[in-house]
């Protein structure tokens, strides 16, 4: 069984996320998603529209996702790869090179993002709509 892992916040879940998860799952037989906790997001200067529990529940409803684990720190990736017997680590290509330090443990792959959509685009559009309504 080939096991794959990816990481993210997955706030404002959209079709780009679904496509990323589908492609990640297609790389193997089992997909682990490490989901940034609310506390970790705060350390990164991010806030989510939805709590970790809500985002976890949404990810678990996606058929490509086999397991959701908490991402608490930047440093936990090596531990996660070992603990979950990961064969492939994958992230969006906006992270190219950042996780190559894991290549001694597993294959590291960077996948193209869906150019038509991003969480940032959604948040900006929501802000524009909110500002226009005022």
pLDDT tens digits for the chain (134 residues)?
999 999 999 988 877 889 999 999 999 999 999 999 999 999 999 888 899 999 999 999 999 999 999 999 999 999 999 999 999 999 989 899 999 999 999 999 999 887 666 666 656 665 665 666 66
Catalytic residue, chosen from 44, 49, 98, 125, is 44
pTM higher than 0.75: yes
Rounded CA separation 106/82 (Å) = 9
Measured from the Cβ of residue 36, the count of other Cβ atoms closer than 10 Å reads: 23
Q: Is 46 a catalytic residue?
A: yes
CB-CB contact of 70 with 88 (8 Å)? no
Catalytic residue, chosen from 46, 49, 98, 125, is 46
Measured from the Cβ of residue 73, the count of other Cβ atoms closer than 10 Å reads: 13
Q: Is 98 a catalytic residue?
A: no
33's enclosing H/E stretch is strand 30-36
């Amino acid at each position: 069984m080939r096991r794959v892992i990816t990481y993210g916040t997955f706030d404002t879940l959209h079709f780009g996320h679904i496509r990323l998860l589908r492609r990640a799952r297609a790389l193997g037989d089992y997909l682990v998603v490490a989901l940034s906790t609310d506390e970790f997001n705060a350390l990164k200067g991010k806030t989510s529209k939805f709590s970790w529990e809500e985002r976890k529940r949404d990810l678990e409803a996606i058929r490509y996702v086999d397991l959701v684990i908490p991402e608490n720190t930047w440093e936990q990736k090596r531990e996660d790869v070992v603990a979950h017997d990961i064969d492939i680590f994958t992230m969006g290509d906006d992270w190219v090179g950042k996780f190559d330090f894991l290549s001694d443990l597993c294959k590291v792959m960077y996948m193209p993002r869906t150019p038509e959509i991003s969480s940032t685009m959604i948040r900006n559009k929501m802000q524009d709509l909110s500002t226009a309504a005022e």
